Amino acid sequence: EAGVVQSPRYKIIEKKQPVAFWCNPISGHNTLYWYRQNLGQGPELLIRYENEEAVDDSQLPKDRFSAERLKGVDSTLKIQPAELGDSAVYLCASSVRTGASTDTQYFGPGTRLTVL
C-alpha cells in the first residue's frame, strides 16, 4: 500500500515569493491534515480536512496561508507571500475512520521549505 505522498521534498525561495505544497493521502483516507514542524520541535497542526471540508483551521495563519482539497483527495497548501519565519518542514498526514473510536494518522515525508 502506497503511503502519503508529498511534493516537492525540498523548496528554497526568497521572501515575499509564493510557494505551494502538494499532498496525496493514502487511498481511502477521508481525513487529511497539514502540520508544520519547526527545527527541533514537534509538528503542529495547521488544518484538518474531512473529505473536502476544512473542519479545523484555527491554527492556520489565514493572512498568508491557504489550503484546498477540492475533490476530497489531493490537497494543496499555499503560502503567499512567504516570510523568513515560514522556514520549516510541512507535513501532510491522513487517516480513516474504522469501527474503533480512535484512529491512527499516517504521515508523509514532508516538504522542507527554506525562505531566504
Where does residue 84 rank: exposed (0-12), middle (13-18), buried (19+ CB within 10 A)? exposed
Q: How many residues bind another protein (CB under 8 A)?
A: 29
Q: Which residues contact 87 (CB under 8 A, 6 or more apart)?
A: 113, 114, 115
19, 67, 110, 115: which one binds another protein (CB under 8 A) = 110
CB nearer to another protein: give 93 or 115.
93
SS3 97: coil
Q: How far is the CB of 6 from another protein (least distance, A)?
A: 8
From 13, 51, 36, select the one nearest 110 (Cα to Cα).
36
From 25, 75, 19, select the one nearest 47 (Cα to Cα).
75
| Ranges within 15-34 binding another protein (CB under 8 A) | 31, 33
The 45-84 contact track toward another protein, x by CB under 8 A, reads: x--x-x----xx----------------------------
Binding site for another protein (CB under 8 A): 4, 31, 33, 35, 40-45, 48, 50, 55-56, 91, 93, 95, 97, 101-110, 112
